[in-house]
Structure 1
């Protein structure tokens, strides 16, 4: 069930920002969301749009207009950012409880909720500049060329800029470390790139038959504690948040749930997280990860691009094999898909992949078990073992002190198994 907006309370965030409740109008009605019949929209890599001045002017103007909206407007830039605080810092309790928070991290809810969050943010930006084809870019940190902080967010005069970042990382071509946890990797740039590619490849390899490993473990209504339940994609995603946020204090903006979405790069980062999910689905033959009503019926509330408060379910965002109410196969595709898992990664053996999918193309026609759920996919031990393998067994994970002068030098080395290809071309992956 969605949260009760009338019962929003101070979030359990650090003291810097603990009141993030939205303006509440008790007369506002909640509608079922119907996906608009829009033109096909294409998201592009951030490092490849930096020279597209026409696109950048549109992007900056859309964000500028969003920031200039009245503070109480649901589309206002900071009201949009507060949505992340509300759903991630316990500002809502689950319906019919007074102590069980709504939390969209650390479980199988992580990817569907953030996909919707991006969708509405993107649609609102397009509405503000009257461009139904507008899309946000994705931070292509799964390819060598995209592992530095995107240049389009570095101009201090731009509405895309946020001063609350770790300046050691977002300038001068520093390489993002996808295992970062507030300690810089002393290895050379080329070694960090190789470690990143291996880490991503192993994440795909070991999770193809274990959806929980990639997506996160199930969480049921009324469950209060979520421990050790996040998926491996969320683990990778966390590193980028920590790497970008300030190194001290509350780690603002990107390093703290309550402020992360105040930085425009948040949405660019999550666009690539969403793309990783899209790639994962493609590798599994576009089969739904969990045929479980608790996941499919997970429900959230957002203001759409028409200022209407709408209710959405996880099951509505499971394209490409699931058609939307507009009867279109996809809303978004990603172009120039280059990712570390495209070489040396075995395609899933459909006979051995234990997925919860039916052959029916529509969610509403799925034949679910009588109680609406089935066994948790895989055994706890198998998931735990795969997590250990990803963490401990990756080639190139040793972090040795490099020789003097190695750090920061762009070294060329032979392409390793699993390293990203250049080029990529158009992809028909998307939702």
Structure 2
């Protein structure tokens, strides 16, 4: 029982470790794919370059942190976020009394919270109390300092409840935010020593491994330690899923607007059009997702990691293959990129068929040499052999009727003919 619980705990830590490294990949990918404005002057260009370089550097450092250091970094990061959220809520609550009411009325169409009264103050106090307790817990403050921090967060709400003048409320909120910022700065400064020794330890460890084992083993160890293939898979699947949800939402919104503009459409038909996608629309969405799923180097690596994990069950090692053949297609247009991906998938299919033939060939040779005529032993292998003969013929027939004559078609046909002859 204890062993199973320990195993579950290790798996949970591994999942959390991978999930916390994924935002670094998103930030690096966003920086590399961000829009460059050349007309902002050399000062603006240098500033943007500096910000991008620092963003990539910090994200790379966080990505390569050890598991313990990664958890500690995110603990401090979330503590800072909770402190900022508490300060912003205090500022907006003291500066704009009807802020929440106006927001909910504009966003939802009805007033969810009252303009004044105990309900509003109690709700805000509960939110601020949760933020304060979370801030104290993440920074691991002592009991006395923890009480003072929570009191500092709650003081602006007390000024709001007793209806102090607006200037006084804003002044109290500003001083409360400054006190919380000072406490955060002191806590972070107290951990600078730990950060320095952690960086020094990592540097000495990397230098030691590089001198003894070399660069290749160092990269392999780092690759396994941070679970980089799993990070790439989660990054790519999350990105594609988000894009799919956005595209489906946009398509449904456009359909609803077009239905409202035309008018006179039955409710059942409009509902079915809003929630069901036709085959053409589904194919266009899938094509756009596949194309956008390999529009940068990191997304190509993510797609390769996903395909390699699927192909791992077939015994294939195609990560480098997919990465190379797709990396050359990044500068093409969307239509040309879709054509190139389709051709690469055809080549990949022939490679998989060749691999399956390599698995079945020894079994066929052993069965042909044996004198046992068992239908149960011969039928599965013969069925696979028949599929290996029919699929290349069908693929060649479909390609010759769909594409013009070119070198790629000759290559695929040669692979298919070779497979049939085998």
Give the TM-score, by structure 2 length.
0.25
The structure carrying a bigger helix percent of its residues is: 2
Q: Which has the higher contact order (CA 8 A, sep 6+)?
A: 1
Structure of larger gyration radius? 2
Give the TM-score, by structure 1 length.
0.25
The structure carrying a bigger strand percent of its residues is: 1
